[in-house]
């Protein structure tokens, strides 16, 4: 699908479709000599930002793969993206409701929104904070909040699955720092809001339901003045509720743009919140500029965006952590993933959100999308 702009109020939305649901492999992306658009070491693999002579192979079976035809209109045109970035007049706050973020990742330094009144003198997250200095109900929320923890949650939305970190990198990884990849824009500040994690896929013992955590995450994003919310939740219409619909209407009334992934089940059956009228629903496209074989589709899908073989940041594996090490890309700080979540970031030319079917297993339908809103220069 050709990159296009959606003008909503005072924002230009640029979408990319990438549903993160499966690991890719280094062997499935080949690069030539004309791909790099920055001094970042892996930018040549970012076909979704600068498509030229990259080659992608898709597995046909366990032992065979076939080459996909490269379409010059499949990804974002980096030059046009740069022109848009030059018109941005303020930092855009993107709340990523997901699995958290790797605060120590070298390519994500300086991109996280800080609540300075709740940080330590060194600008870090306080280790144990009972003092709610700004009286917002979240003591020590220097860099977001973790609603997946016990009670009211805690002030450490650290990523234990990799999904939230991958989304953050697509949006805002530091450009021209000589390492890794380039994000869509240097004008984005990420507000990490953790609403689910590794334990979600192992046992169903959460005292607060996923939908309740989602509602709390939406309210927190609004309280922190988010411009955009990227969502990693999805559920069948049959289990929808008035409370959820009301929460999303409240975001719309507050002027917040909500972007959600269409899903990775290759079906036209609507899911929510993607099918809500006030949510931008993003499906996934391929390097061939076709709808991805795994992507959901149908009249509720607003736009397609690149969602196959997307390289981005990944948490640095710690031996004592349940986090699995990066399985395919040789640098463990980065990973290639596919899914409608990456699509939302790329084809809409900068929208990110994630969708997870409530109660799904880790191998189930985990969807991610990304997006970026640019302020209207007028």
Q: How many domains does the chain have?
A: 1
Residue 197 pLDDT level (bands cut at 50, 70, 90): confident
pLDDT confidence of residue 69:
64
Indicate the range of 64-73, 108-117, 260-269 predicted with least confidence. 64-73
pLDDT confidence of residue 291:
85
1 or 177, which is more confident: 177
pLDDT confidence of residue 91:
85
| pLDDT over 60 (residue 24) | no
| pLDDT over 60 (residue 147) | yes
310 or 324, which is more confident: 310
| pLDDT over 60 (residue 350) | no
Indicate the range of 119-123, 233-237, 273-277 predicted with least confidence. 233-237
| pLDDT over 80 (residue 98) | yes
Asked if the structure places residue 205 within a domain, the reply is yes
Average pLDDT estimate for 264-269: 86
Half-sphere CA count of 104, side-chain side, radius 13 A: 8
Indicate the range of 25-34, 235-244, 281-290, 342-351 predicted with least confidence. 342-351
**Is 288 buried (19+), middle (13-18) or exposed (0-12) by CB count in 10 A?**
middle
pLDDT confidence of residue 97:
95
| pLDDT over 70 (residue 3) | no
- Could you list the residue range(s) of the whole structural domain that residue 110 is in? 6-375
DSSP secondary structure, 339-358, as one string: EHHHHHHHTSBSEEEEEEET
257 or 33, which is more confident: 257
Average pLDDT estimate for 334-360: 50
pLDDT confidence of residue 305:
79
Asked if the structure places residue 200 within a domain, the reply is yes
Q: How far is CA 54 from the centre of its chain?
A: 23
pLDDT confidence of residue 347:
39
CATH number for the domain that contains residue 290: 3.40.50.200
Contact between residue 197 and residue 102 where contact means Cβ atoms under 8 Å apart = no
pLDDT in tens, 206-239: 556 888 999 999 999 999 999 999 987 778 888 7
DSSP secondary structure, 72-104, as one string: TTSS--HHHHHHHHHT--SPEEEEEEES-B-TT
Asked if the structure places residue 1 within a domain, the reply is no
pTM, 2 dp: 0.82
Asked if the structure places residue 346 within a domain, the reply is yes
pLDDT confidence of residue 287:
78
Average pLDDT estimate for 264-286: 86
pLDDT confidence of residue 159:
94
120 or 185, which is more confident: 120
- Residue 65 sits at the vertex; the CA angle it makes with 355 and 354, to the nearest 5 degrees, is 10
| pLDDT over 70 (residue 282) | yes
Residue 6 pLDDT level (bands cut at 50, 70, 90): very low
In the block, tokens 């290639």 appear at 336
| pLDDT over 50 (residue 363) | no
Asked if the structure places residue 248 within a domain, the reply is yes
pLDDT over 90, % of the chain:
31
DSSP secondary structure, 279-298, as one string: EEEEEEE-TTSSB-TT---S
Asked if the structure places residue 258 within a domain, the reply is yes
């Amino acid at each position: 699908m050709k990159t296009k702009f959606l003008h909503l109020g005072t924002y230009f939305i640029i979408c990319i479709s990438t549903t993160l649901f499966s690991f890719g492999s280094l062997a499935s992306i080949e690069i030539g000599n004309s791909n790099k658009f920055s001094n970042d070491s892996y930018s040549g693999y970012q076909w979704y930002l600068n498509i030229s002579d990259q080659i992608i192979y898709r597995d046909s079976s366990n032992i065979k793969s076939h080459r996909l035809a490269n379409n010059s209109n499949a990804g974002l045109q980096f030059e046009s993206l740069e022109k848009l970035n030059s018109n941005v007049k303020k930092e855009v706050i993107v709340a990523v409701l997901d699995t958290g973020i790797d605060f120590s990742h070298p390519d994500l330094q300086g991109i996280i929104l800080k609540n300075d009144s709740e940080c330590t003198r060194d600008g870090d997250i306080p280790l144990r904070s009972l003092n709610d200095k700004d009286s917002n109900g979240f003591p020590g929320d220097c860099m977001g909040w973790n609603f997946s923890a016990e009670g009211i949650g805690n002030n450490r939305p650290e990523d234990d699955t990799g999904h939230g970190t991958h989304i953050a990198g697509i949006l805002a990884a530091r450009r021209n720092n000589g390492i890794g990849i380039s994000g869509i824009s240097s004008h984005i500040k990420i507000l990490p809001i953790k609403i689910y994690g590794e334990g979600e896929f192992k046992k169903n013992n959460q005292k607060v339901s996923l939908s309740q955590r989602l509602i709390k995450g939406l309210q927190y994003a609004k309280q922190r003045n988010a411009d955009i919310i990227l969502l990693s939740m999805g559920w069948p219409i049959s289990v929808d509720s008035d409370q959820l619909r009301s929460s999303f209407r409240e975001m719309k009334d507050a002027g917040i743009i909500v972007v959600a992934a269409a899903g990775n089940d290759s079906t036209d059956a609507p899911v929510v919140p993607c099918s809500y009228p006030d949510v931008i629903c993003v499906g996934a496209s391929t390097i061939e500029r076709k709808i991805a074989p795994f992507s959901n589709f149908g009249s509720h899908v607003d736009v397609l965006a690149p969602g196959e073989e997307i390289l981005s940041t990944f948490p640095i594996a710690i031996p004592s952590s349940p986090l699995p090490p990066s399985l395919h890309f040789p640098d463990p700080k980065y990973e290639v993933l596919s899914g409608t979540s990456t699509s939302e970031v790329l084809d809409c030319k900068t929208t990110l959100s994630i969708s997870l079917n409530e109660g799904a297993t880790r191998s189930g339908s985990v969807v991610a999308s990304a997006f970026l809103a640019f302020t209207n220069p007028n």
